[in-house]
A and B are shown apart, each in its own frame.
Chain A
């Protein structure tokens, strides 16, 4: 979450053989799937054999049972948290992109604002959660605020890099025919920046999950984060673990949804060797 965390996410940009690429991606999953299955089995066995108290850790079988038994509770909480994440992400994307455009368009804004944005990155934003709760109560607002404050930055950062990654010769050509700055932005800079933007959004979506859960920890009456915290105060370890499971699956699903969206856009705007994402 800090400015120097580098998340590697190279935009995927092939156009002609996308299905083959997708097939390779899925084919590549099975070693991980096998490893995960082995880990789950080992977990079950270890907890059984060493007879670890179920206050300390829940067995996979207990978690599965809990997931079925408390499905309505979990689904309600899932819905609340998903709402926070999706709205928060949408807001982050809009704010992040607008900020990048303003910063790219006006040099003086870039000079004045950008160092401050980077500086702000060093504020541990998780610690802002209690303040937002204090200001805005237990509702949706403080959650959205925390999510946005955490997630807009990788979007702005990557979009800004993308807008500046434009071929200098192309800019000369555009100027040689008297193209306006707006035309250069629309016709060249924004399409060039799209793969960068999506790489940034893929990072942002995982940050959004963190933001929403932390905001719920700090003060909420519903949601998966709330449920996990409630479970821990009640020593209901299976509930904690099932909440954790649901939130992890949600995070994964959102990440892959972003990747799918990116893939669709990359088909329209293929950009070989686009830069690495930064967060």
Chain B
């Protein structure tokens, strides 16, 4: 399967609560080229998770459009081109890691698909480095391992696009760094387009080809930054002066701007 790009055009999202209406997203336009890794970076409440759901066809925008590989997002969902990873692993606690990974393919393919689904699942567990943990139950896995299982589950659907909503946000800093490296490793072995939501500046710089910086009230994209750090990215990348410069620039925009806003 060739990689598939995403095009978001003039997306507005308004939530109505009682008499009040809240603009969650205003005029969001962005393009994600096929096969790239793009992050949505911003503080809580800037609508980045909502935008991710809209891109994934799980939520219909108030206005505007999303196309995936030239087709409407809802069609991409029906064609099962979307893989989802959430902040929490959301595994079935009564199923083994392997069964959790193959579960969705078993739903899609019905009874006859079980064998093929299990084979795919084994391959995906290998890919995320859990080849020998297939029989373990979720409660026996660490947070990082459980999240690897949920990534394997998303990849097992062989989607063109992987949507990740703060997938490492609940992990400790060390595990998080390891997971970031692993993710890049996994990504380089596939041809997925990844949209990654985070509120960690360092994580965004380390992972991304492109960063869309978002602000709240109303949720909007305030800056798009292309990260021109060489790949593969490793621990050495963190010491690259350009990495430090990107980080400083983003921090100033997100944190510094807010401080100026308060004192002005």
Q: Is B141 an interface residue (CB 8 A)?
A: no
Size bracket, chain B contacts? 20 to 34
* Interchain CB contact (< 8 A) of A191 among B82, B86, B92, B137: B92
In the complex the two chains form, is B80's CB within 8 Å of A177's CB?
A: yes
In the complex the two chains form, is B78's CB within 8 Å of A270's CB?
A: no
Q: Is A91 an interface residue (CB 8 A)?
A: no
Cα distance A278–B81 when bound, in Å? 42
In the complex the two chains form, is B93's CB within 8 Å of A270's CB?
A: yes
Q: Which residues of A contact B84 (CB under 8 A)?
A: 169, 172-173, 176
In the complex the two chains form, is B107's CB within 8 Å of A172's CB?
A: no
Cα distance A29–B140 when bound, in Å? 30
Say whether, besides A172-B58, A272-B139, A177 and B92 are in contact (CB < 8 Å): no
In the complex the two chains form, is B90's CB within 8 Å of A169's CB?
A: yes
In the complex the two chains form, is A173's CB within 8 Å of B94's CB?
A: no
In the complex the two chains form, is B56's CB within 8 Å of A270's CB?
A: no
In the complex the two chains form, is A179's CB within 8 Å of B107's CB?
A: yes
In the complex the two chains form, is B104's CB within 8 Å of A173's CB?
A: yes
* Interchain CB contact (< 8 A) of A268 among B58, B94, B108: B94
| Interface residues of A, count at CB 8 A | 22
In the complex the two chains form, is B78's CB within 8 Å of A178's CB?
A: yes
Cα distance A176–B85 when bound, in Å? 12
Q: How far is the CB of A47 from chain B (nearest CB, A)?
A: 52
Residue among B88, B90, B93, B140 with the highest chain A CB neighbour number at 10 A? B93
Cα distance A178–B86 when bound, in Å? 18
In the complex the two chains form, is A183's CB within 8 Å of B92's CB?
A: no
Give the residue name and chain of the B residue nearest to A267 (CB): B94
In the complex the two chains form, is A269's CB within 8 Å of B107's CB?
A: no
Q: Which residues of B contact A167 (CB under 8 A)?
A: 88, 90
Q: Is B28 an interface residue (CB 8 A)?
A: no
In the complex the two chains form, is B139's CB within 8 Å of A270's CB?
A: yes
Q: Which residues of B contact A16 (CB under 8 A)?
A: 140
Question: Would you list which residues of chain A between 179 and 196 have a CB under 8 Å from chain B?
Answer: 179, 183, 187-188, 191
A-B contact sample (5 more), CB < 8 A, given A178-B77, A191-B94? A173-B90, A174-B107, A176-B82, A178-B108, A183-B107
